[in-house]
């Protein structure tokens, strides 16, 4: 049962009667990548606040008679601001409702789960977390890119490509020198809108224009698409193929391994069928 967003009435309960919040990672999209614990928690939940990047297949694990509240956020289109989502959870739990906060990927990897957990604990509300497979892990496995590799990448760096600041001063505030180090795999979330800046800055800070790079759109969803190129060619390829969010940017020598690992996995699946 889906409901419109509405705040619970002012709490009149003692703290011992308040509900609790469970932050649950929905994984990257494929419902078979849910953890057993996440599936169990969803099946028993009576109230679920869920995000935009939670797939319908994952939502099918929620009981049919549970109450659902959509609080998803897209670029420049937020059902509720982050502060409003936190306020809603506080008001509901202080009114005696326990709830599941369902987030795409892992709650603590660019899911703002840390902010929510901090605010809930500060308000005296019990909160626990069920981790989920991150979008980076799901995308890497789906297309055959090992995130680390003894011969190619001894480090994994996750970053966000969001613009920060206001108006004409908005920019991608990243440590470009750190991202341009050799022998590491870089995965950038939410960077499609700033892909040109990201690629040019990494080249300017020392990475070869021929460094393998990829875009993975809707990783593990039925609509998954992958575009492979280099730092030099990826922005043009993104426009040519009209890649749109949600999509990850993967950069580093490990990306080139998809030609062997991804192709081999696909052949093995085909042979099994």
Rounded to whole angstroms, the Cα distance separating 66 from 120 reads: 22
103 is catalytic: no
Closest residue by Cα to residue 122 from 102, 93, 95: 93
Catalytic residue, chosen from 51, 65, 106, 175, is 51
Give me the DSSP letters along 170-221.
Answer: -B----HHHHT-SSEEEEEES-GGGHHHHHHHHHHTT--TT-EEEEEESTTS
Catalytic residue, chosen from 73, 106, 128, 175, is 73
CB atoms within 10 A of CB 190: 18
Rounded to whole angstroms, the Cα distance separating 202 from 20 reads: 44
253 is catalytic: no
Pairing of strands 212-217, 247-251: antiparallel
- Which positions are catalytic? 51, 73
């Amino acid at each position: 049962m889906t409901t419109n967003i509405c705040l619970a009435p002012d709490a009149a309960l003692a703290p011992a009667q308040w509900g609790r919040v469970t932050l649950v990672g929905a994984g990257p999209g494929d419902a078979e990548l849910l953890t057993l614990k996440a599936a169990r928690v969803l099946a028993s939940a009576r109230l679920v606040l869920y995000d935009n990047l939670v797939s319908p297949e994952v939502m099918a694990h929620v009981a049919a008679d549970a109450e659902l509240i959509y609080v998803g956020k897209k670029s420049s289109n937020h059902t509720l601001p982050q502060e409003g989502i936190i306020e809603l959870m506080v008001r509901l739990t202080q009114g005696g409702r326990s709830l599941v906060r369902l987030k795409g990927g892992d709650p603590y990897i660019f899911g703002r789960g840390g902010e929510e957990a901090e605010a809930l604990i500060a308000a005296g509300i019990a909160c626990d977390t069920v981790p989920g497979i991150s979008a980076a892990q799901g995308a890497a496995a789906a297309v055959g890119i090992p995130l680390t590799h003894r011969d190619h990448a001894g480090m994994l760096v996750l970053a966000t490509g969001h613009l920060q600041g206001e108006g004409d001063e908005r920019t991608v505030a990243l440590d470009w020198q750190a991202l341009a180090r050799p022998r590491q795999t870089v995965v950038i979330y939410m960077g499609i809108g700033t892909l040109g800046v990201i690629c040019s800055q990494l080249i300017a800070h020392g990475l070869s224009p021929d460094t393998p790079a990829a875009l993975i759109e809707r990783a593990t969803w039925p609509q998954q698409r992958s575009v492979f190129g280099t730092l030099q060619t990826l922005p043009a390829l993104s426009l040519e193929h009209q890649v749109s969010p949600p999509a990850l940017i993967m950069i580093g020598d490990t990306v080139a391994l998809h030609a062997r690992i991804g192709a081999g996995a696909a052949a093995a699946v085909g042979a099994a069928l």
